Amino acid sequence: MNLQELIEPDRVHRSVYTDPAIFDLEMERIFERTWVYCGHESQVPRTGDYHTLNIGRQPMIMVRDRDASIRVLYNRCPHRGVELCGNQSGNTGNGFVCSYHAWSFHLDGKLRALPLAKGYEGTRLTRDNPDCNVKAAARVDSYRGFVFASLVAEGPGLLEFLGEARVAFDDMCDRSPVGEVEIVPHCHRVMQHSNWKFFMENQLDALHPSVTHQSTGVPARRVEQRVRAEGATPPLHFHYLSTFASSFDQWDSVQTVNFPHGHGILKGYMGLRPTDADTLEHEAQLREAYGAQKAEEFLSRNIHHVLVYPYLSVQSPLQQLRCLRPLAADRTLSEIWHFRLKGAPEAIYRRSMWYFNLVNSPATPINADDLENWTKAQWGLQSRGGEWVSLHRNMGGDTEVDGVLMSNNGTSEVVMRNQFRAWSDYLSDDPTTESTDA
Ligand code: FES
Ligand SMILES: [Fe+2]
């Protein structure tokens, strides 16, 4: 397979969205090598708390160890391969016990005991054989409470990988007067019948909202106008929906910033600093905690989404995080989480919950309209109705400074061009030429 023939600067071949062999390469060369988000520290507060997830095609367990550290282990018994944790999350006590033959392990994966141990005497499976332990991810690190793991020992560290995209977590945490967030321990999980790249491209695709979400945005705007005409102030959550009906020109004036590794930012387009009593109380808390200048800096970051390529969309001003777990070329599990700002007024949390339920929930027209487009895109690209996907919009109009691509047009397809640049870099790096697994 010649990958270079599939990716051109202004178009990509349809097979990158549909071919199972390319999906396998993506898992091997991107997801199973780069830093992947596992969860938030507050998801596993007590010893033995665990959460299961996939890193690429690998079933993993994020677990809180007795020394308070967080481990990320393969969800696989070293004896005959049975998954150790069958649930999404739970508490496994002081260790893991395999349900098949009761081998047991400490929370760091080291063998604790095996039944009828003398049956192994004289074999090469001695207790000091590392093959007796549950295998761990090669690297685990966290940034401001957000836990990541990489299945290979080599490559950039977490901070280098995140680069400028770390602002996603700064912007979220700095809105708390104690600088921390706490996960709301339930997420929406949505099975997308489409390739993971549609979601990532869509997050910064400012050309689509006024079309795709017109049926929600326009009625919300009418209600807002009627409430105002009656002399009242419409609640902020109408604004969440009505902004989708902004004009093409308005969307074109919203900038995107496109970083190395495929990360990116869609700058803010919603007014999220109303002057109601709750907001004023929250802002006063932040001034008290950080001083007026810092607080203003934190509150005026111009962000709508931050993308951590290839799997996260973080809406930091509203404490939302969406994470992709790709399962096949045409199947992607997405998790939609939201967070509380520790120490902030309850009303600020309710604002996040409104957004979570009104925009990001699978029950809303917003999310459903996006999902429908991505499914139809998958079907269209599986057809022989054309070989190429166009990424031409505003081609040639981008500026690049230190590897950061900017466009003066919010609706530019520079977003997708930048993501495919990172994609090509990952896929052309053949790990079979080196031994990387820890
Ligand atoms: S497979 Fe786990 S103890 Fe046998
Ligand atoms: Fe959308």
Measure the CA–CA gap between 235 and 276, rounded to whole angstroms: 10
The better pLDDT of the pair 397, 76 is held by 76
pLDDT per residue as tens digits for the range 356-385? 999 999 888 899 999 999 999 999 999 999
Residue count (the chain)? 438
Alpha carbon of 126 to ligand 1 centroid (Å): 16
CB burial of 193-206 (b: ≥16 within 10 Å; e: otherwise) equals ebbbbbbbbbbbbb
Cβ-proximal residues to 72 (8 Å cutoff; 6+ apart), any chain:
38, 55, 60, 61, 62, 63, 136, 137, 140, 147, 149
Give the helix ranges, DSSP H, for 194-273: 196-203, 209-212, 214-229, 236-242, 248-252
Structure tokens at 237: 């959550």
Structure tokens at 199: 């979601």
Ligand nearest 251 Cα, by number? 2
Alpha carbon of 202 to ligand 2 centroid (Å): 7
Report whether residue 82 contacts ligand 1, using a CB cutoff of 6 Å: yes
Which pLDDT band holds residue 433 (cuts at 50, 70, 90)?
low
Cβ-proximal residues to 232 (8 Å cutoff; 6+ apart), any chain:
none
* Amino acid at residue number 213: H
Of 92, 74, 85, 91, give the one whose Cα is nearest residue 130: 74
In contact, 96 and 108? CB cutoff 8 Å: no
Report whether residue 103 contacts ligand 1, using a CB cutoff of 6 Å: yes
Ligand 1 atom closest to the Cα of residue 80 is: 1
Spatial strand order in the sheet of 111-113: 95-97, 104-106, 111-113
Report whether residue 105 contacts ligand 1, using a CB cutoff of 6 Å: no
Ligand 1 atom closest to the Cα of residue 81 is: 1
Burial class (CB in 10 A: 0-12, 13-18, 19+), 425: middle
Q: What is the pTM of this model?
A: 0.95
Ligand 1 atom closest to the Cα of residue 98 is: 2
In contact, 17 and 26? CB cutoff 8 Å: no
Structure tokens at 300: 């005026």
- The predicted pLDDT at position 435 comes to 46
Give the helix ranges, DSSP H, for 139-204: 158-162, 167-173, 196-203
- The predicted pLDDT at position 270 comes to 77
- What mean pLDDT comes out for the span 398-404? 90
Cβ-proximal residues to 174 (8 Å cutoff; 6+ apart), any chain:
290, 298
Identify which of 100, 104, 105, 131 to mutate to test ligand 1's pocket (most ligand atoms within 8 A of the CB). 100
What are residue 406's DSSP bridge partners?
Answer: 257, 399
Lowest mean pLDDT among 93-107, 313-327, 424-438: 424-438
Alpha carbon of 208 to ligand 2 centroid (Å): 6
Which pLDDT band holds residue 429 (cuts at 50, 70, 90)?
confident
Mean pLDDT score of the chain: 94
Ligand 1 atom closest to the Cα of residue 114 is: 3
State residue 193 phi and psi, 5-degree precision: -90, 55
Identify which of 82, 112, 125 to mutate to test ligand 1's pocket (most ligand atoms within 8 A of the CB). 82
Report whether residue 189 contacts ligand 1, using a CB cutoff of 6 Å: no
Specify the residue with its C-alpha closest to ligand 1, atom 3.
Answer: 101
Burial class (CB in 10 A: 0-12, 13-18, 19+), 89: middle
In contact, 6 and 15? CB cutoff 8 Å: yes
Which pLDDT band holds residue 392 (cuts at 50, 70, 90)?
very high
Report whether residue 99 contacts ligand 1, using a CB cutoff of 6 Å: no
Alpha carbon of 132 to ligand 1 centroid (Å): 11
- What mean pLDDT comes out for the span 238-262? 91
Measure the CA–CA gap between 145 and 143, rounded to whole angstroms: 5
- What mean pLDDT comes out for the span 10-39? 98
- What mean pLDDT comes out for the span 387-403? 93
**Rounded to an integer, what is the distance from CA 7 to the centroid of its chain?**
24
Report whether residue 80 contacts ligand 1, using a CB cutoff of 6 Å: yes
Specify the residue with its C-alpha closest to ligand 1, atom 1.
Answer: 80
Burial class (CB in 10 A: 0-12, 13-18, 19+), 242: buried
Ligand nearest 134 Cα, by number? 1
Ligand nearest 208 Cα, by number? 2
Measure the CA–CA gap between 265 and 112, rounded to whole angstroms: 46
- The predicted pLDDT at position 1 comes to 64
- The predicted pLDDT at position 95 comes to 98
Report whether residue 106 contacts ligand 1, using a CB cutoff of 6 Å: no
Ligand nearest 80 Cα, by number? 1
Report whether residue 228 contacts ligand 1, using a CB cutoff of 6 Å: no
Which pLDDT band holds residue 299 (cuts at 50, 70, 90)?
very high
The span from the first CA to the last CA of the chain, in angstroms, equals 28
Cβ-proximal residues to 376 (8 Å cutoff; 6+ apart), any chain:
none
Structure tokens at 87: 């649930």
Report whether residue 265 contacts ligand 1, using a CB cutoff of 6 Å: no
- The predicted pLDDT at position 358 comes to 92
pLDDT per residue as tens digits for the range 112-170? 999 999 999 999 998 899 999 999 999 999 999 999 999 999 999 999 999 999 999 99
Domains in the chain: ranges and CATH: 36-143 (2.102.10.10), 163-427 (3.90.380.10)
- The predicted pLDDT at position 434 comes to 55
Report whether residue 74 contacts ligand 1, using a CB cutoff of 6 Å: no
CA angle 316, 320, 322 (to 5 degrees): 115
pLDDT per residue as tens digits for the range 305-317? 999 999 999 999 9
Which pLDDT band holds residue 430 (cuts at 50, 70, 90)?
confident
In contact, 392 and 11? CB cutoff 8 Å: yes
The answer on pLDDT for 436 being more than 50 is no
Alpha carbon of 225 to ligand 2 centroid (Å): 23
- What does DSSP assign to residue 39? E
pLDDT per residue as tens digits for the range 21-32? 999 999 999 999
Measure the CA–CA gap between 195 and 375, rounded to whole angstroms: 8
